[in-house]
Amino acid sequence: MSTALAVAASVVSAVGSFSQGVSNKRFADRQSARLLSDAAESRKLGALDAELIAQDSRREQGAAIAAAGGSGFAVDGTVNDALGSIATSFALDGQRARYEAGRRAAALKTEAWETRIRGRQSLLKGTLDGTGSLLSAGAQIAAAGQRGGA
């Protein structure tokens, strides 16, 4: 009777281990998918920021040209230098926005990869723990059979 209870407990433990491993793997997969989605969104936001910065640059340059033209200055020499400086400053800001978004996206992809690995490890642990419980139950059955057959 005690052997049957021990075997039943081992089977229940095995099922629990398998179930926990599968559950953890599914959760990790969902989490990983969310992180990958966030990474893609980060890249899109970086591109949008860069485009908004480029629009600001064009506005600033237009305002500078209008101011220079309205005051009677020719758009050459110093005014051209000022326009170049505006364009360069905004271009660098746009590149920085894309770069930072790329870094955030890369970090999120790395986190997604690590999460997926943890999920696989959890599934493997559940499988091994469950297998160990079943082997333990088998050993108990074999031992009980030897005692009964002796």
The pLDDT of residue 34 is: 96
Distance CA 66, CA 79 (A): 11
Place of tokens 């978004």: 101
The pLDDT of residue 30 is: 96
- CB-based burial, 66-82: b 16+ in 10 Å, e otherwise: eebeeeeeeeeeebeeb
Distance CA 55, CA 33 (A): 33
The pLDDT of residue 44 is: 96
Distance CA 78, CA 74 (A): 9
pTM of the model: 0.70
Q: How would you write the pLDDT of the chain (150 residues) with one tens digit per residue?
A: 677 888 888 889 999 999 999 999 999 999 999 999 999 999 999 999 999 999 998 888 888 878 877 776 665 667 777 788 888 888 899 999 999 999 999 999 999 999 999 999 999 999 999 999 899 888 888 888 887 655
The pLDDT of residue 58 is: 86
Question: CA dist 65 to 9, 114, 123, Å?
Answer: 83, 52, 65
Domain range summary for the chain, segments of one domain joined by +: 2-149
The pLDDT of residue 18 is: 92
CB atoms within 10 A of CB 84: 11
